[in-house]
Amino acid sequence: MENKFDAIILGAGPAGYECALYLGERGKSVCLVDKSEENIGGTCLNEGCIPVKSLVESAHLVQRMKEYKDVFNVDFRIEYSNAVKLLEDQKSQLRQGIISRLKRSKVNMIFGKGMLVTNNAVRVDGVDYFADSIVLATGSYPKSLSTLNIDENKIISSSGLLKLKNLPKDILVVGGGYVGCEFASLLNYFGSNVTIVEFLPKIMGVEDDEVSRTLLREFKKRNISVNTDSEIVNVQNKDEKILVNFKNRKSNLVKEALVDIILVSVGRGPNTKDLNLEAINAKTERDYIITENDFSINNSNVYAVGDIIKTPMLANVATREGIFVAKKILGETECVNYELLPRVVFTDPGVGCIGLTEEDLKSKGISYKTYRAFFKGNGKALIMGQNSGFFKVLTSEDEIILGAMFIGPMAYELVHIMAIAMQSKANVTELKNIIYAHPTLSEIIFSALV
């Protein structure tokens, strides 16, 4: 039967294509469905992780050149359009790499709009395809606010910002979470005047208070205006600009900002409304699909992974969930340990955290010890000209690591040292006994523990 497969996967983002590759490489017949070839790689490759981090890298290079301009007598001009061209080239290269891998693994790719028909059938643009297992991995979309209608012209989403060829002089970022802070940081380095409006009492709301305060301090040094405990109350066009009024929820003080563009960065929602979930009696909660512990829907042969279920909306999480399901289909075992999930933010200074925060430990009534060191005392950080921030590790009374946080240079890489330590249940003495290379950023771990 030409339209029959071992597995059909709807969605070619990290969860979907990694699931397809794992199955295809092990001899299973797989059909991977997505809207178009340009959508291969999903949000991560096309509108999220890769393009944003490409801009971050370009912005950091611009800033380093500014800092060393007088030292080396360097004269340069910022061409933002070149940074956009670079990220498009990088996206294309990575996408072609994924497509080549899928072809080598003999994964069938079908482009069109897919929906469920039964537990064993999906329909793509009017044609039915059948499989023993179906995996839903359709990703997410940028959320809006009732008070702000995203038109991708003056009021834009993160997707819209990545399509800009020229950056605005003045921009207001609604949302001071991970994504909002990353955009604020890179836009500031490219020369935009940035205002952040955050509803919660602090930016990076789920992270350690000390990390949040440090990032806030560094943002203020860079003249990024941060307004926490605040909400938008009015938006109106004024000539070619937008006049935005926002109110502090505690003091009721109303401020205004005259900007070229508003970037709405308030999270993402699951792409589940067009899947025809009723066909398999799938239950949802706020559009997220409810699954069993093995990601199956109602203990059936249909699975849901990635951004469409209520687990962290991260590409690395989606990848592991996709591989978990592929192994389940093959009768293999896998484990997804969300407790050891690194939380990274590519701001400057960067942020890398894992495990519990001090606020978590206090709320749970767990007694703990704190070890801390600052990057200003680290030789490599000083050489790099990036010695703001600190490293902090929280341990139990018997010195087993419960949580760790870096804010400073390469924090998003350093955090994996602590991930390995926590996975192996290492204690402070074992980390302290490692001889760290000198001069390196990693030495800050030793500095904190001695």
Which residues are catalytic, by number?
A: 438
339 is in an annotated binding site: no
- Cβ atoms of 443 and 378 closer than 8 Å: yes
182 is in an annotated binding site: yes
179 is in an annotated binding site: yes
- Cβ atoms of 204 and 219 closer than 8 Å: no
Contacts of residue 73, defined as CB under 8 A and 6 or more positions apart, other chains included, come to none
139 is in an annotated binding site: yes
How far, in Å, CA of 75 to CA of 90, rounded?
26
189 is in an annotated binding site: no
How far, in Å, CA of 97 to CA of 74, rounded?
36
How far, in Å, CA of 194 to CA of 187, rounded?
7
- The two tokens of residue 42 are 């999903």
25 is in an annotated binding site: no
Nearest to 128 by CA among 20, 31, 42, 37: 31
Nearest to 12 by CA among 133, 158, 136, 96: 136
CA distances from 143 to 155, 156, 263, 334 (A): 12, 11, 11, 32
How far, in Å, CA of 65 to CA of 76, rounded?
8
307 is in an annotated binding site: yes
377 is in an annotated binding site: no
415 is in an annotated binding site: no
205 is in an annotated binding site: no
212 is in an annotated binding site: no
388 is in an annotated binding site: no
Cis peptide before 168 (omega within 30 of 0): no
53 is in an annotated binding site: yes
Alpha helices in 121-227 (DSSP H): 158-161, 178-190, 209-221
Binding site members for NAD(+): 175-182, 198, 267
- The binding site for FAD consists of 53, 114, 138-140, 307
Binding residues are 53, 114, 138-140, 175-182, 198, 267, 307
